[in-house]
Amino acid sequence: MTFRILYVDFAPFPGGSIISLAHLVEGLDPARWQPMVVLSAQNAFHGFDAMGVPVMRVRTPLWEAIAPPKDVREGRVEGRWRQRLAAFMREGNLRARFWRVGGDLRRWGRDVFPTARALRPIIATFQPHLIHLNNSISLVRPGLLAARWTRTPALVHHRSFIPPDAWDRRWLLSPLQGMIAISEAVARCQREAIPADIPMRVIPNAVDMATFQEPVDRDIFLREWNIPPEALVVGMVGRIVPWKGQHVFIEALARLRHQLPHVHGLILGEADSLPGQNYKATLLARAQALGLTDHLHWAGHREDISHILPALDALAHCSVTPEPFGRVVIEGMAAGVPVVASNAGGPAEIIEDGVNGLLTPPGDADALAAALHRVLTDAVLRTRLMEHGRESVAQRFTVEKHVQAVTAFYEAILAALKIDLVGRETGRPVDRVGE
């Protein structure tokens, strides 16, 4: 039998969740699984179309509402006004409760219901056996609501630490038949917030190793950013937001240059929000103050990351708060680049310190600089990290292993639902779907 799976991802731009989903969908056995994908109308990703997978797009007011205003000055004024109002309303229990309830109602009316209504006819037409919601509950609320309305079983692929809130637990969990957590750290957080009878499996993200094995012309890479051929290049990949820690990278690079004057830094990623743009402005000013103008390069968002990483001499992961997984860590390992990462969240589960990478305390620029210095100057250590990094990816993070684990979970969920439907006793009554 072929099962229809509706994949839903509301991300407004191509990113880690979409890349992971593309790996999964491309690896499905077409004799067993028939996919359809729903994306945000704002998302420019066309990889599923290239695979021949049907794609539907829906408006996502959640992301439209937080798009940066055209006039940054007006945005700052509005932001200050909202901050003052919020501070006033949070003074006192009654005002704070009113503020929270009003905010919840506004979010549901503006962000959740319109997208859920748009999903409803798609579900009615495709008639999926299971809806795979490809992000955290707080980001896929419309999908869960539509699943409830249509009495369709759903699975949430949780990619963050944010737990469901009281409204989510009251109104949205009834169609939920399973949850995938991308790391043990995420699973621990979610287990405290969801009913114990909802099955959960930890299935890490995957990387297509073949895309990182193609030959790379380092000279072309260096010329693109006018980097001298003798330079050592340390890269960092991620959205430009404070928690990703680009400021730590810049401070570490400045310290590293005192010992290795020919080292250069390359930051890949976009500031795709107003706070991100403000943060990048502070980063540029700080880099100039540290004398890094000619040694720090900004690459923006790149689709050809698999052709850039292998040309680096080292890759730094600098998140100052725990990362749910850290896809760039396994991408760097697959590319044969020694990786130095923050010792928190997903990267701490991926890296065995000193074996397949190095770990440093989050936010510690001195420790990061010291670890990068070791990687760049110790040939024996460097070779060991590169070899064991590739081995780790081959053993734990391949697309094949990921697809096998996810589809095995599908099978378990669908089997349980089928058993329920013929009236046999199981631990997961199908009535939950429509309660």
- For 3-42, write each residue's pLDDT tens digit: 999 999 999 888 889 999 999 999 999 999 999 999 999 9
Mean pLDDT of the chain: 88
Q: For residue 335, give the nearest of 278, 428, 268, 429 by alpha carbon.
A: 268
What is the average per-residue pLDDT within 65-85?
A: 46
Residues of the chain within CATH 3.40.50.2000 domain(s) are 3-71+108-206+398-434, 209-396
Give the global pTM.
0.86
pLDDT at 434 over 90: no
Phi, psi of 32 (to 5 degrees): -110, -30
pLDDT tier at 123, thresholds 50, 70, 90: very high
Note whether 171 and 141 are within 8 A (CB). Answer: no
- pLDDT score of 103: 56
Classified by CATH at the fold level, domain 209-396 comes out as Rossmann fold (3.40.50)
What is the average per-residue pLDDT within 112-137?
A: 96
| Residue with more model confidence, 223 or 98 | 223
All residues at 6 or more sequence positions from 416 whose CB lies less than 8 Å from its CB, including other chains: 177, 426, 427, 428
pLDDT at 88 over 50: no
| Residue indicated by tokens 């959640």 | 62
pLDDT at 134 over 60: yes
pLDDT at 80 over 90: no
What is the average per-residue pLDDT within 188-199?
A: 91
- pLDDT score of 104: 58
| Residue indicated by tokens 């001298």 | 228
The class of domain 3-71+108-206+398-434 in CATH terms is: alpha beta
- pLDDT score of 274: 85
- pLDDT score of 215: 82
pLDDT at 166 over 90: no
- pLDDT score of 78: 45
Residue 316 parent element (H or E): strand 314-316
Cα dist. 407→206, 215, 300, 401, 410 in Å? 14, 33, 35, 10, 5
Note whether 13 and 272 are within 8 A (CB). Answer: yes
pLDDT at 292 over 70: yes
What is the average per-residue pLDDT within 259-282?
A: 93
